[in-house]
Amino acid sequence: MLRNTVAALVLLLLGYGAAGLIGGAIPTNTGWREPAEGVRIQVSSNGVHTGLIVPVVAAGVDWRDLIRPEDLSDPRYAEYPAIAIGWGERAFYLETPTWADVKPLTVLTAALGSDRTVMHVDHLPWPAPNADSRAITLRPEEYRRLAAFVRASFAKRGWHRTGYFKNDAFYAAQGRYSALQTCNAWTGDALRYAGVRIGAWTPFAMTVMQWFKT
């Protein structure tokens, strides 16, 4: 019985991984081409979570009404010109800043489904693009669609707390986290909504990042 259960679990995990890789390889918004000019953003990854780095003010979008200096343990960091935004399950996000912090029970609990979701926001100087943070340019209207999607992911102003460091904070979010709707799927959804060429389903960090050049 135990052997059959383990075998079924292994097959389930292999199937999930294969489905994620296939879903991440199927293109959407196939006609999209990056413009020569527009709003410069970055798609970033720490190996576990992906997110979006956007300007604090650009193309008629101003994040300062939603993300406030007093939300940080050191409000001076709010003077930085960029913010990194990601969505995810509360316990998973709070307890796993890196792969070294991942706990099997936390992953399993999140994968089974959780309505306790959060937005994670870092205030940053503009980072240089690299293998973990890849720059793309959006047309102003594409950026405004992206911003509208991200804003809709925030819950009404309520629960929030300071983050890992002095320059970041967590906020209550909308949406249900699961193995199908991961933090990386959210990043893909946001880019897809904006009109960017991206995979049809992006549950893993690599299925997001593979679409953008280093």
**Residue of 174, 196, 197, 158 whose CA lies nearest to 87:** 174
Measured between alpha carbons, how far apart are the two ends of the chain, in Å? 47
**pLDDT value at 97 more than 90:** no
The answer, yes or no, to whether residue 9 has pLDDT greater than 70, is no
- Can you give the three-state secondary structure of the chain, one letter per residue? CHHHHHHHHHHHHHHHHHHHHHHHHCEECCCCCCCCCCEEEEEEECCCCEEEEEECEECCEEHHHCCCHHHCCCHHHHHCCEEEEEEEEHHHHHHCCCHHHCCHHHHHHHHHCECCEEEEEEEECCCCCECCEEEEEECHHHHHHHHHHHHHHECCCCCEEECCCCCEEEEEECCCECCCCCHHHHHHHHHHHHCCCEECCCCCHHHHHCCCCC
Q: What is the mean pLDDT of residues 100-113?
A: 64
- The region, left, alpha or beta by phi > 0 then psi within -120 to 50, assigned to residue 132 is alpha
Q: In terms of residue numbers, what domain contains 79?
A: 2-209
- Give residue 187's pLDDT: 98
> Is the pLDDT reported for residue 112 higher than 80?
no
pTM score, two decimals?
Answer: 0.90
Mean pLDDT of 15-27: 91
| Residue 214 included in any domain | no
Q: Is the pLDDT of residue 111 over 90?
A: no
Q: What is the total count of domains within the chain?
A: 1
Is 86:118 a contact under the CB 8 Å cutoff?
A: no
Segment 129-187, tens digit of pLDDT: 998 999 999 999 999 999 999 999 999 888 899 999 999 999 999 999 998 999 999 99
Q: How confident is the model at residue 203 (pLDDT cuts 50, 70, 90)?
A: very high
158 within a domain of the structure (yes/no): yes
Query: pLDDT at position 104, please?
Result: 65
Mean pLDDT of the chain: 90
pLDDT mean over 107-113:
65
Between CA 170 and CA 160 the distance in angstroms is: 5
pLDDT (0 to 100) of residue 181:
94
Q: Decide which of 11 and 37 is more confident.
A: 37
In a domain, 133, yes or no: yes
More confident residue, 7 or 195: 195
The pLDDT-based confidence of 15 (bands split at 50, 70, 90) is confident
pLDDT of residue 2: 62
In a domain, 12, yes or no: yes
